[in-house]
Amino acid sequence: MRDWAQKQPHIGFVPTMGALHEGHLSLARTAKRQCAVCVMSIFVNPTQFGPNEDFARYPRNEDRDFELAEQAEVDCVFAPAVEEIYPRRTTFVRLLDVGNEWEGAYRPGHFDGVATVVLKLFNIVRPEMALFGLKDLQQCAVIRRMVEDLDVPVVLSFEETIRDVDGLALSSRNAYLTPEQREVAPELFRIISESAKRIALDQQSVDTTIGIAIQSLADTGFQVDYLAMVDGRTMKQQSEPNEESRIIVAARIGAVRLIDNVAVY
């Protein structure tokens, strides 16, 4: 029994939509440290995009992705065609609760698509461990809840966000930014980090801090979809911080929508 319990997980799984960057590769390297084998999937999942979203123009570069995955010592890349994953679309996972607000409110059906594809990928790859980035905080909460609710036999690992030197969270969608927008984009992280610090140090009420942050982003040229303090497990808004608190934000510069979040402690 003890041997079994101490055994390294065999397969560590990193699901991605490709256009790989250091955020994805860092997940793969963590998987390699903790598991015998790292499997990465590259699949731009149509069911998690809304009708007016960027599915068709989402950045795709398979040759480069395969090269980067190989350099990160990924053992197996699974890059299925859409018809392979969805020969029919007749059964879905439907999230109640943690997927409703925030991204769920701005992107109806998004998390049902995410949960459905992740469950399908788990059933195909059969990993003992799966790794996700906290950059997509609500996605982590949704997957944790699905795994608990549906008794999915996998251990989840959530890893901190990898950032560029100026603080901008790495994202495949950063490729959409013009050079001018790219210069302003790090303000998103700077402003929510400042808010988190003020709340953690009890320098200002949560409401006041959030209000100032929203105004600062607007002054910088962002259109803010939401900015709030939430419990990162339940995604419920909070007015008093606890050890799970995170400031979450979604904001647009021009046509580019960025999301980010930071821990309050």
For binding to ligand AMP (CB under 6 A), which residues are involved? Answer: 16-17, 23-24, 27, 132-133, 135-136, 159, 161-162, 169-172
* Dist. CA 117–CA 119, nearest whole Å: 5
Torsion angle, alpha carbons of 185, 187, 189, 190, to 10: 160
The 3-state DSSP class for residue 237 equals: strand
Catalytic residue among 10, 21, 24, 110: 24
Nearer to ligand AMP, 211 or 233 (CB): 233
CB of 8 to ligand AMP, least distance (A): 21
CB of 17 to ligand AMP, least distance (A): 4
Nearer to ligand AMP, 157 or 216 (CB): 157
Asked if 110 is an active-site residue, the reply is no
CB of 20 to ligand AMP, least distance (A): 8
> Distance of CA 176 to CAs 22, 49, 63, 145, 256, Å?
17, 17, 20, 31, 7
Which residue in the shown chain puts its C-beta closest to ligand AMP? 133
Nearer to ligand AMP, 110 or 135 (CB): 135
CB of 2 to ligand AMP, least distance (A): 32
Nearer to ligand AMP, 132 or 226 (CB): 132
Edge-to-edge strand list for the sheet holding 245-253? 223-231, 245-253, 256-263
Q: What are phi and psi of 216, to 5 degrees?
A: -60, -40
Q: Are 188 and 155 in contact (CB under 8 A)?
A: no
Positions marked catalytic: 24
